[in-house]
Structure 1
Amino acid sequence: MTVDVQWAADALLTAYRTRQPISPIAARFADAPLSTAYEIALAQVESWVKDGDVVKGHKVGLASRAIQRQMNVDQPDFGHLTAEMFHLEHQPIPADTFIQPRIEPEVAFVLAKPLRGPGVTVAEAAAAVDFCLPALEIVDSRIQDWQIGIFDTVADNASSGGVVLGSRPVRLADVDLRLAGCTLHVNGELIATGAGGAVLGSPLNALVWLANTVGPLGVTLEPGHVVLPGSMTKAVPIAPGDAVVADIAGVGSVTAVLAGKEDR
């Protein structure tokens, strides 16, 4: 690990710990390939695992054109999901867990079989899925004011923050995820709408992309792991006290509650 990679990983780990964002790091890596940003992210994951956390899955970020336009990037990325990122539906999530949270509705895949690329096909990916769940991903950035390009967000573990899963499993064969419409309500107000087709044409395509991207890095998508394929709408800022409901046709609904002052 180079000195610069260690410096960046330490800076981001400190931001997690203190809840104080840092300035963008990309300028220090102007000539570095994107693989260097993934090295920075993996160094943080290794630190968390060393401290007792456990990898429970992966996420695909920046998978829809809406999110890519919002974040000013032109390609997907991926991050790791650890046990500490998962929160129960309807249960208040401590607001001080995050720095500048936004929320995204997604269809979560839970795997029954391992997937490892390169060369994974849509057929193999579909066969590996045990069931789907409606999900809300809380994305967060350790970079001040979300001033991120692709290098910064990749280094920051794809801006991962938290995950809330619904509790009603649905078989992949029972829903056409390409056509599944989605509504996102915050405090009872309709904030955004979308559909599964916004996610690389289908959320299943995002699973294929992930398996084939992480495989050459020596990573296997494991049975029981959760994969978040990407948001069906734009990312929406949330604040303490907010209640968020995503309803995905054919998949179900999921509710996330960010604790307010009265919950402390």
Structure 2
Amino acid sequence: MNTHSITWLNGQLLPTSQATVPVNDHGLLYGDGVFEGIRIYRRRAFRLQKHLQRLALSARAIALEIPLSSDELTAVIEQLIDAFPDDDGYIRLMVTRGEGPLGLNPKSCTQANIIAIADQLTMIAIDELQAGARLMVSSVRRLSADGLDPRIKSLNYLNHILAKIEANHAGADEAILLNAQGRVAEGTADNIFIVRNGRLLTPPCSEGALEGITRELVLQLGQADGIETSEQPLGVYDLYAADECFLTGTGAELIAVASIDCRSLPSCPGPVFQRLQQAFRRTIDQECGGIA
């Protein structure tokens, strides 16, 4: 962890190494809580209000009361950025169910813990990033929406971690999870796009994909640039037959894909990806460019 990493914990700013929560926090015991990842560019939180809105909806979906308002959380993030030494970085904002007795019943957890960590995050090593990511289709299936709705960004990522372990063992950079029907859902920590015949395609959230904030922006940027976009179900064949493929996410930003299951893609980085990446950077400049 970066020695510059700092944490806001229930009103206190601390070096991350000194920030602690009780061992009987249900966020630790059961993954009972929600989180958001937020990018810092030029000392500004990118699309903060969209992240806070998604956090609030995730919390409401699991009947978790966040003890701070959206305005108060905004002030927390601004305080954290002011204390963080780097101009660019990443914030992990978490709300846990809080302390409670052993046993998964949350009824006795009376006070949620709010934790915000500012640090650096790199999803894929720089050399792989430049060459393009190597993907594999995981045998681990995405939990179905009728079991756990993918729009809930909860603290329990075991499903995705198992897929990531599989990718590590296979020597791949990232894994793609399919849903129970065998269609493409998402990566372990990112959404997936393909380009075929000039069209930009991504699975709808009903297929098991997170409602990604970067995903939404990329669709908007594509439409604004005259690229035909579509949210539609995709099979593994569609990944293999793609002209281009790339990943998106707050942590990932935009990452071009070089191969899927050892099948090289015709173009990496492809022309559509490069146009969208330039538009993405322009959006960051427009929204976060006021501070050097």
TM-score (norm 2): 0.26
Q: Which has the larger radius of gyration?
A: 2
| Higher RCO by CA contacts (8 Å cutoff, separation 6 or greater) | 1
